Amino acid sequence: MYKEIVDFIKRLYKTESFIPLHSPLFIGNEKKYLEECIDSTFVSSVGKYVDKFEELAASYTGAKKAVVCLNGTNALYIALKLVGVKEDDEVITQALTFIATANAISYTGAHPVFIDVDKETMGLSPDALNKWLNENAVLKNGICYNSKTGRRIKACIPMHTFGHPVRLEELIGVCKKYSIELIEDAAESLGSFYKEKHTGTFGKIGILSFNGNKTITTGGGGMLLFNDESMAQHAKHLTTQAKIPHAWEFSHDHIGYNYRMPNINAALGCAQMEQLDKFLKSKRLIAMEYEKLFKDSSIGFFKEPKDCESNYWLNVIILPNKVERDAFLKYSNENGVMTRPIWQLMNRMPMFKACQTDELVNSFWFEERVVNLPSGVIQI
Ligand SMILES: Cc1ncc(COP(=O)(O)O)c(C=O)c1O
Question: What CATH number is associated with residue 237?
Answer: 3.40.640.10
Cα 221 to ligand 1 centroid, rounded to whole Å: 10
Q: Distance from the CA of 226 to the center of ligand 1, in angstroms?
A: 18
| pLDDT for res 45 | 87
Is residue 212 within 8 Å of 220, Cβ to Cβ? yes
What are the pLDDT tens digits along the chain (380 aa)?
999 999 999 999 999 999 999 999 999 999 999 999 999 999 998 899 999 999 999 999 999 999 999 999 999 999 999 999 999 999 999 999 999 999 999 999 999 999 999 999 999 999 999 999 999 999 999 999 999 999 999 999 999 999 999 999 999 999 999 999 999 999 999 999 999 999 999 999 999 999 999 999 999 999 999 999 999 999 999 999 999 999 999 999 999 999 999 999 999 999 999 999 999 999 999 999 999 999 999 999 999 999 999 999 999 999 999 999 999 999 999 999 999 999 999 999 999 999 999 999 999 999 999 999 999 999 87
Cα distances from 214 to residues 50, 235, 319, in angstroms, run 19, 23, 24
| 160 CA: nearest ligand 1 atom | 1
Distance separating alpha carbons of residues 82 and 63, to the nearest angstrom? 17
* Cα→Cα distances 36→42, 100, 218, 367, Å: 8, 33, 16, 45
75 lines ligand 1 (CB under 6 A): no
pLDDT at residue 354, rounded to an integer: 98
Residue 2 parent element (H or E): helix 2-12
* Residues 268 and 281 reside in one and the same domain: no
CB 94 within 8 A of CB 363: yes
pLDDT for 336 equals 98
Report whether residue 240 contacts ligand 1, using a CB cutoff of 6 Å. no
- Same domain for 135 and 254, yes or no, is yes
- Residue 252 shares a structural domain with residue 124: yes
Per-residue pLDDT at 256:
97
Contacts of 9 (CB under 8 A, 6+ apart): 19, 332, 337, 373, 374
Q: Which of 273, 305, 328 is the last residue of a domain?
A: 273
Q: Determine, yes or no, domain membership for 378.
A: no
User: Do 260 and 349 have their domain in common?
Assistant: no
Q: Is the CB of 100 inside a 6 Å radius of any atom of ligand 1?
A: yes
Q: How far is the CA of 93 from the centre of ligand 1 (A)?
A: 14
Is there a single domain that holds both residue 116 and residue 76? yes
Question: Quick one: 260 and 148 in the same domain?
Answer: yes
184 lines ligand 1 (CB under 6 A): no
Does 363 contact ligand 1 (Cβ within 6 A)? no
Q: The whole model's pTM is what? A: 0.98
Instruction: Please count the structural domains in the chain.
Output: 2
Q: What angle do CA 298, 304, 308 make, to 5 degrees?
A: 160
Listed residues 245, 273, 301: the one ending a domain: 273
What was the pLDDT predicted at 379?
A: 87
Q: Return the residue whose CA atom lies nearest to atom 1 of ligand 1.
A: 98
The verdict on 227 and 357 lying in the same domain is no
Ligand 1 atom nearest to 209, measured from its CA:
10
Of 73, 76, 93, 345, the one to substitute when testing ligand 1's pocket (max ligand atoms within 8 A of C-beta) is 73
Which domain, by its residues, includes 303? 2-25+276-373
What is the 68 CA–ligand 1 centroid distance (Å)? 14
Q: Does residue 346 line the site of ligand 1, with CB under 6 A? A: no
Q: How far is CA 240 from CA 56, 219, 255, 317, 351, in A?
A: 20, 20, 10, 42, 30
**Cα 244 to averaged position of ligand 1 atoms, centre (Å):** 30
Q: Are residues 248 and 280 in the same domain?
A: no
Q: Angle at CA 213, nearest 5°, toward 375 and 348?
A: 95
Give the residue, by CA position, lying nearest to ligand 1 atom 12. Answer: 187
Ligand 1 pocket residue status of 215, Cβ below 6 Å: no
